[in-house]
Amino acid sequence: MVRTRLPLVVRRALAEPLLLAAAFGSILLATTAISALLLHAGSATQAGVRRALETAPLAATATVVTSSVAAGDFAGADRAVRAGIAHAHGEVPVRVTVRVESASYALKGQDRGDDQPVLTRFAAYEGLDGQADLVSGRWPAETKTAMVEVALSEPAARVMGVATGDEFTVVGRLDGKSARVRVTGVFRLRDPDDPRWKGEELLRYGTRTGDFTSRGPLVVPAGTFLDRFATGASARWLAEPDLRRLSPDRLRPFSASVAGASAAVRAGCPRCTVTETLSGTLLRLDRGALVARSTMLVPVLQLLVLSAYALALTARLLAEHRRMETALLRSRGGGSPRLAAMAAGEALLIALPCAPAAPFLAPVLLRLVSAFPWIEATGVEPPRSPDGSTFAVAAAVALACAAMLAAPPLLAARRTYVEEQAARGRADRPGLVQRAGADVALLVLAALAVWRLRGQDAPETTRLGGELGLDPLVGAGPALALLCGGMAALRLVPAVARAAERATRRRPGFGPAVAARQVSRRPARYSGPALLLTMAMAIGVLSLTTAATWRGAQEDRARHLAGAALRVPALPGDDARTFTTLPGVTAAVPAHRARVVADGADATLIAADAAHLGRALLLRPDLSELSPATLASRIAGSAGQPLPVVVTPGLADTVRITAGTAAIPIKVVGVVAAMPGTPEGTPALLADLSALRAAGAKGAEWPVTEWWLAAEGHDTTRAAAALATTGRGRGDVVDVAALTAGYRDDPTAAGMQGALLLGFAAALAFAVLGFLVNAAVSARERRGEFAVLGALGVSFRQTLGLLAVEQSFVIGLSLAGGVALAVAVSAAVVPPMVTAGHATGGGLPVLLHVPWPQVAVLAVAVLAVLLVIVAGLARSLHRREPAAVLRAGEAS
């Protein structure tokens, strides 16, 4: 009685629980997966930007202001600089410290008659006591007496031969005034390699050699400096912003604000020179965030296409199952508005509950994905609760699904009962999409999208006003390519079925002949599941390939930048035994790195010992036709000959380089696409260190600046740990394992892999669900057919064989076609997509990696699941009593 009082649309829906449950599952899966993918893209992008801002070097974020100052105008200049920097940084906290340095002073007795006096300088450093520890004594204090209290760094005290309590006199080189100083303390910098001390070689090392030798500095309080040593002084302000709370949507506006720092500072300090790199860094991060979001949208678009087709397939099955009912309703006076209202109401009844449910299920799904170790290691925290945009996305997807679910019944409502009866007796015809040639049009569109993707560095475009935005055509390229490939594969189903029918026509065997005849008569019944499985398999293989290619690119970038398993800066007294005694190190190659001028532009020169270089050089095989050992043998030169070098492509015609004031003739003996040990895209030359010393100008020194170490199996763990115990395991040491881990744990890279994992799992779920529903509906429609076969004595084994052969057309074509399609699409779109994701141009080429073992496991797993479904279907059909089914058919 309760059911009779329900609205007609509800009663009609309850009459088809299987199909409507499948439709509900498809819509819920689509809304949840797409909401989760978009949430994941946002959280991974934010984590990537946050990680980049937290780890950005000071040189990429700091603003440096320099100016000459005097005692009378320092206070005004200091206020102007601090106010200008604060105005440019707005709401972002910024710490400003200043260093002032005097003109040169000479030690008493060396101020006259000495062409090469040893000089020193007075200096005041704001906040130095927080960056250094006293070794002895105390920090100097301001005094009104003639004696000046100073502090010295430990290296300066050592080279000057003084200690705490010593006194000496210095004389100004400009004004000739003398000053008596007392050393009150000796300090040690906590981290001499801290980027804030860049350019402060005198403070770091205690000595500086140029036209003159300087030692010091003599550190005094700021008040003492301004009162007594401000003549000819220079000031340097360092602004360090705190970017930890800067959100990705503020990168571009904040970059524009910081770019105005120079004008803001110079408005109050015209003599000041401002150098800032933060605005460019922020723009690069903003572009990288845009590229990351766009690449993570690729699985979203693929899933959209797949979910749309899966839902369309379910809707078509529902419409076909109800077409006689719909035609009968129409013949009894049901007009199009009434039928449309029923179809729309039923679709909304199914889809609308998914809109509020999906946003709460999406974070749960993301937490499951984040449990994978390589994603968990990045620190990307999945959102705990949905936001407003998630509900909007879920609602939009649910409404789109409802429209797709209602479309086939509306189209089917145009037929009358007589036309429907006539249509049932005709064989399946090719679908409307194929008859109209839309698959060809989509193929052209997909080709255009792939061409656009391969022809640019990143999937972005410039909007009006100069703002960057996503290029939807480029982002949709992989999804369109998969859809077109799958639709092209549909044309194979009738042809393969006809060929199989001819092959089995005159052969004994019940199952193959009947199955081939069934598929040949009604190919459209199998084309839908075939396309769904093909696309799902292709998306799965494409996801595996993209993830493998991404990881391979990360490893290649780390190996290329390192150049060797370990690169260690050279210190006085180092030799080969210093490093070959480290655990796991098999070779140590001395090298000299320098900036040279080649063809009028800067380039990097690496001169290494050719005798052992082949054992340490990490050169990817595709970057050169020659092996590292062959390259090393070619650069070994002899005295009196041009220096043999291996160069990057832009330097292939170079005949001379200039290092300092020395002009060195060279001979190019090899070309590599990119030089190991240098950043991607850097012009570089590789030479033999001995040959360079022989070919260089007289008196030129080519000291060893770094050591390239080879490790057994490229395992640097033990060697890096041993270096750390000596105090050399940090700073400028380049470790290929640490670089690889840094790239692998990058949130953006893990975000892409997490998105691929989500899309991959959702694609397989759609495929299994679609195949299961199609098989169940097909079984229900063919109960009479199998009842007749059962009455004729067909056994379960024969029934299983019939269904297995029949479904092998779908399964076999789908698995083989999906793998082939994925490999073809991957070759076209994955390398440029990964290149765009790295946001680098002109760098290391990305190589395609197809993980065939994982692909095979995937194919076997999908095959096993589908065969279980087929076996269950055969068991269900065979267990039915033939007599009861046949009598039900007579009664109807």
Amino acid at 227: D
Distance CA 743, CA 559 (A): 11
Look at residue 62 in the predicted model and tell me its pLDDT.
92
Q: What is the pLDDT of residues 106-156, one digit of tens each?
A: 887 655 555 567 789 999 999 998 899 999 999 999 888 889 999 999 989
Q: What is the pLDDT of residues 502-530, one digit of tens each?
A: 766 666 665 566 666 666 666 666 777 88
Residue 278 and residue 63 in contact, taking contact as beta carbons nearer than 8 Å: yes
Return all residues near 844 (Cβ < 8 A) that are at least 6 apart: 553, 556, 557, 560, 620, 623, 674, 680
Look at residue 436 in the predicted model and tell me its pLDDT.
47
Higher local confidence (pLDDT), 33 or 381: 33
Return all residues near 54 (Cβ < 8 A) that are at least 6 apart: 243, 244
Q: What is the pLDDT of residues 4-21, one digit of tens each?
A: 566 766 777 676 777 788
Distance CA 633, CA 161 (A): 48
> How many other CB atoms are found less than 10 A from the CB of residue 167?
11
- Backbone φ, ψ for residue 386 (5° rounding): -75, 160
Query: Is the per-residue pLDDT at 699 higher than 70?
Result: no
Distance CA 294, CA 744 (A): 19
Residue 650 and residue 683 in contact, taking contact as beta carbons nearer than 8 Å: yes
User: Nearest CA to 316 among 861, 777, 783?
Assistant: 777
Q: Which DSSP symbol is given to 134?
A: E
Higher local confidence (pLDDT), 563 or 453: 563
Distance CA 457, CA 462 (A): 13
Look at residue 808 in the predicted model and tell me its pLDDT.
75
Burial 495-512 (b: 16+ CB within 10 A, else e): ebbeebbeebeeeeeebb
> How many other CB atoms are found less than 10 A from the CB of residue 77?
23
Distance CA 374, CA 380 (A): 11
Amino acid at 594: A
Higher local confidence (pLDDT), 697 or 49: 49
Q: What is the DSSP track for 577-617?
A: HHHHTSTTEEEEEEEEEEEEEETTEEEEEEEE-HHHHHHH-
Q: Rounded mean pLDDT of the chain?
A: 80
> How many residues are recorded in the chain?
892
Query: Is the per-residue pLDDT at 868 higher than 80?
Result: yes
Q: What is the pLDDT of residues 235-294, one digit of tens each?
A: 999 999 999 888 888 888 999 999 999 999 999 899 999 999 899 889 888 877 777 777
Determine which helix (DSSP H) or strand (DSSP E) holds 209, and give its type and residue range: strand 207-209
For 432, the 3-state DSSP assignment is helix
Q: What is the DSSP track for 47-93?
A: HHHHHHHHH--HHHH-EEEEEEE-TTTHHHHHHHHHHHHHHHHTTS-
- Please state, for a pLDDT cut of 70, what percent of the chain lies above it: 77
Look at residue 11 in the predicted model and tell me its pLDDT.
72
Residue 686 and residue 606 in contact, taking contact as beta carbons nearer than 8 Å: yes
Q: What is the pLDDT of residues 715-754, one digit of tens each?
A: 898 998 888 877 666 557 889 998 888 887 777 766 777 7
Longest dimension (CA), the chain: 127
Give the residue carrying structure tokens 């005041």: 124
Q: What is the pLDDT of residues 188-207, one digit of tens each?
A: 988 876 778 877 888 888 88
Distance of CA 247 to the CA centre of its chain: 19
Query: Is the per-residue pLDDT at 307 higher than 90?
Result: no
Q: At what angle do helices 882-891 and 783-791 cross, to 10 degrees?
A: 130
Distance of CA 102 to the CA centre of its chain: 48
Cross-strand pairs, 207: 215
Higher local confidence (pLDDT), 118 or 226: 226
Cross-strand pairs, 183: 150
pTM, full prediction: 0.75
> How many other CB atoms are found less than 10 A from the CB of residue 860?
11
Distance CA 108, CA 586 (A): 53
Query: Is the per-residue pLDDT at 634 higher than 60?
Result: yes
Stretch 423-449: mean pLDDT: 58
